[in-house]
Copies of this chain bind each other. A is one copy, B any other.
Amino acid sequence: MDRNDVTKKIIAAKVRSKLSWGEIATKIGRSKEWTTAAMLGQMTLDAKQAAVARELFDLTDEETAWLQIVPYKGSLPGAVPTDPLIYRWYEIVSVYGTTIKELIHEEFGDGIMSAIDFSMDIEREPNPNGDRVKVVLSGKFLPYKSY
């Protein structure tokens, strides 16, 4: 048994339970973005969060222990995603990657936007021409220093 097995069990249990990610997040007590990532095997739960997950998805002792172990991260099969929704994000990196790099460096100098000290918020943006997906990403700027 490894973390992937626990992830598969959670996804199957969610399909049967008809719970939404938002409802699960409320029970876990964290944002729906973080909670979904955690349930999909990308984040580490603390003991209390794991206990809630245990209850919700009818997990065993061993499965509950796995949720508290740091996982080997990376949620996609293959270097270039095939799923159209996820590919559009990869395309944004491909088309706008150098643009993002230029503008962050122009504002902050040499360094990166952290993907660790990072949060994300996804919401519906009503629009008469068709609603839009609005995503806000916030990551700490980490400068390269000379030493």
Contact = CB atoms under 8 A, between A and B. Distances in A.
Interface of A: 1-2, 8, 11-12, 15-16, 20-22, 30-34, 36-38, 40, 42-44, 46, 49, 61-62, 65-66, 69-70, 72-76, 79-120, 122-125, 127, 129-147
How would you classify the secondary structure of chain A's contact residues: helix, strand, loop or mixed? mixed
Most chain B beta carbons < 10 A, residue from A20, A69, A98, A122: A98
A8 B2 contact: yes
Given A30-B147, A115-B91, A117-B145, A125 B99 contact: no
Contacts of A141: 124, 130-133
A119 B84 CA distance: 16
A53 to B, nearest CB: 13
Most chain B beta carbons < 10 A, residue from A20, A107, A125: A107
A100 B86 contact: yes
Contacts of A72: 82-83, 98, 101
A103 to B, nearest CB: 5
A140 B128 CA distance: 11
A69 to B, nearest CB: 6
A147 B34 contact: yes
